[in-house]
Amino acid sequence: MPPSIASSVLGRGLSAAWPICLGYLPIGMALGVLGQKAGLHPLAIGFMSLVVFAGSSQFIAVSMISSGMPAFTIVITTFVVNLRHLLMSSALAIPFRGRSRSVLTLFAYGVTDESFAVNYPKLLEGDWHIEHALVVNHAANLTWIASTVAGGYGGQYIPEGAFGIDYALIAMFICLLVFQLRGKIYLVTAILGGALAVGLALVLPSNWHIIVASTLAAVCGASIKRYYRRLSS
């Protein structure tokens, strides 16, 4: 890639990634603080962020470590929570069809809820390629790793439960949800997903209610959208 094109790709990618990076700073530091309180060394927290790179499952894992849960239970639980990435990956499979496996592997590593929320709409609009998406993914990745390590080192100076740190991840997902509400169908899908998750939490073990509720809500939302398209055509 010529330097001028590479510079343009980098600039556009970073321009799209900076809101994610800005949001990751306090949330990553919050995770680092909680990890430090759970007895993890800051470098261990950074290694977790490097290997896993999934905020929600990392928060859950740290909580389970604090509770003394066995390693097998923690691995299975976080695996189930991260199954939502299958939905995101299936949506991204079409725009990136034909790309080499090495490039797709590098891209897949950096897929998160936030990077998906930024990249996918831009891919649908056009003039956005996997090179731009890679910049978004890995700029966010580096920010996340650095912020979690910083939180781990700074955690010793912060009292447990201070500043509403436990609420940081929930606040981030609420913000992402609000940005995705672009019409009535999206609002109905969000409400349905929330209601299903609450109801299914009473009957399904572990975090399966999240996976099942999000899948059912997405299917219902897509069906409603298709129905109205047929009416308008």
Q: Which one is predicted more confidently, 160 or 141?
A: 141
Sole residue written with tokens 């055509």: 233
| Residue where one domain finishes, among candidates 132, 166, 200 | 166
pLDDT greater than 80 at residue 166: no
Domain around 42: 3-166
Are 110 and 215 in the same domain?
Answer: no
pLDDT greater than 90 at residue 44: yes
Confidence of residue 169 (pLDDT cuts 50, 70, 90): low
Confirm whether 187 is domain-assigned: yes
Q: Which one is predicted more confidently, 126 or 142?
A: 142
Confirm whether 49 is domain-assigned: yes
Confirm whether 69 is domain-assigned: yes
Q: CB of 9 within 8 A of CB of 134?
A: no
Report which of 49, 24, 37 is spatially closest to residue 157, judged by C-alpha positions: 37
Measured between alpha carbons, how far is 219 from 221 in angstroms, rounded to an integer?
Answer: 5
| Residue where one domain finishes, among candidates 134, 166, 198 | 166
Confirm whether 84 is domain-assigned: yes
Q: CB of 74 within 8 A of CB of 61?
A: yes
Length of the chain, please? 233
Are 211 and 138 in the same domain?
Answer: no
Mean pLDDT of the chain: 82
Confirm whether 173 is domain-assigned: no
pTM value? Answer: 0.70
Are 66 and 107 in the same domain?
Answer: yes
Are 116 and 17 in the same domain?
Answer: yes
Confirm whether 43 is domain-assigned: yes
Are 23 and 95 in the same domain?
Answer: yes
Backbone angles phi, psi at 108, to 5 degrees: -60, -35
Are 42 and 132 in the same domain?
Answer: yes
Report which of 126, 192, 123, 148 is spatially closest to residue 51, judged by C-alpha positions: 148
Are 162 and 199 in the same domain?
Answer: no
Q: Which one is predicted more confidently, 90 or 172?
A: 90
Measured between alpha carbons, how far is 120 from 193 in angstroms, rounded to an integer?
Answer: 20
Are 56 and 144 in the same domain?
Answer: yes
Are 61 and 133 in the same domain?
Answer: yes
Are 201 and 91 in the same domain?
Answer: no
Q: Give the per-residue pLDDT at 176.
A: 62
Confirm whether 81 is domain-assigned: yes
Q: How many domains does the chain have?
A: 2
Measured between alpha carbons, how far is 150 from 157 in angstroms, rounded to an integer?
Answer: 12
Confirm whether 172 is domain-assigned: no
Q: Give the per-residue pLDDT at 164.
A: 64
| Residue where one domain finishes, among candidates 166, 201, 220 | 166
Are 139 and 204 in the same domain?
Answer: no
Are 159 and 189 in the same domain?
Answer: no
Burial classification of residue 219, based on how many CB atoms lie within 10 Å of its CB (0-12 exposed, 13-18 middle, 19 or more buried):
exposed
Q: Return the number of other C-beta atoms located less than 10 Å from residue 164's C-beta.
A: 10
Backbone angles phi, psi at 203, to 5 degrees: -125, -20
